[in-house]
Amino acid sequence: MEKSKAIFSALVILGLCLSVLPSAIAKSSGTSEGYTINGRVKIAGMGAKGFSLPGKISNVKIILNGGQRVTFLTPDGYFSFHNVPAGTHLIEVAAIGYFFSPVRVDVSARNPGKVQAALTETRKGLIELVLEPLREEQYFEIREPFSIMSLVKSPMGLMMGFMLIVVFLMPKLMENMDPEEMRRAQEEMSNRGVPSLANLIPGAAGGSR
């Protein structure tokens, strides 16, 4: 993309070049009374991205008033809407991979040549109609590389972790306990008949005999 630094002025100009037209037409108002909105879309580093997005400048669409008119970008990013009536308009940029704020553009009949544009998302005024994406859009989750953490976080990892805790930490907890309390708890357990692991497995119970 060419990065021209030319100052882009007179963005909304009177579309009718009166000098070219015969005067008879200039008087016949109504049919061709309108203004031209010129602007530019600037996407930094387009095409140089690592993602496999089909983001190409030829696929960018500029949409006026929710689909009333659609235009495309020239190779250096300029676009224009011709024959636009005076009023307040909305310009949207549809570009895959980028989030653009819609732009409110006032085309006034009183002082042609004056542009008033503002981003509707951030309410930021624009001095010239240069549209830049607010952010890039990433449509896919990024697959995290294989790591121990992800394995641990999975349900199976949690099961293992829980088991390890029970196997190795529980005896430690038991050791730290007050022996008296321990005895009481054991008595309680035997009274209640809570099945221990050894009791559960008949072979183990037999082996202990």
Query: By CB under 8 A, is residue 169 in contact with another protein?
Result: yes
Smallest Cα–Cα separation from 102: which of 87, 86, 90, 88? 90
Query: By CB under 8 A, is residue 16 in contact with another protein?
Result: yes
Q: What minimum distance in Å lies between the beta carbon of 179 and another protein?
A: 15
3-class SS string, 52-90? CCCCCHHHCEEEECCCCEEEECCCCCEEEEEEECCEEEE
Query: By CB under 8 A, is residue 36 in contact with another protein?
Result: yes
Q: What minimum distance in Å lies between the beta carbon of 7 and another protein?
A: 21
Site for another protein in 57-116 (CB under 8 A): 57-58, 61, 63, 65-75, 80, 82-85, 87-90, 92, 94-97, 99, 101-102, 104
Bridge pairing between strands 103-107 and 78-84: unpaired
Q: What minimum distance in Å lies between the beta carbon of 130 and another protein?
A: 18
Cα–Cα distance for residue pair 97/139, rounded to 1 Å:
8
Cα–Cα distance for residue pair 124/143, rounded to 1 Å:
36
Query: By CB under 8 A, is residue 140 in contact with another protein?
Result: yes
Q: What minimum distance in Å lies between the beta carbon of 190 and another protein?
A: 13
- Whose Cβ is closer to another protein: residue 36's or residue 128's? 36
- Whose Cβ is closer to another protein: residue 22's or residue 45's? 22
Query: By CB under 8 A, is residue 182 in contact with another protein?
Result: no
Written as one letter, the residue type at 81 is F
Phi-psi label, residue 80: left if phi above 0, alpha if psi -120 to 50, beta otherwise: beta
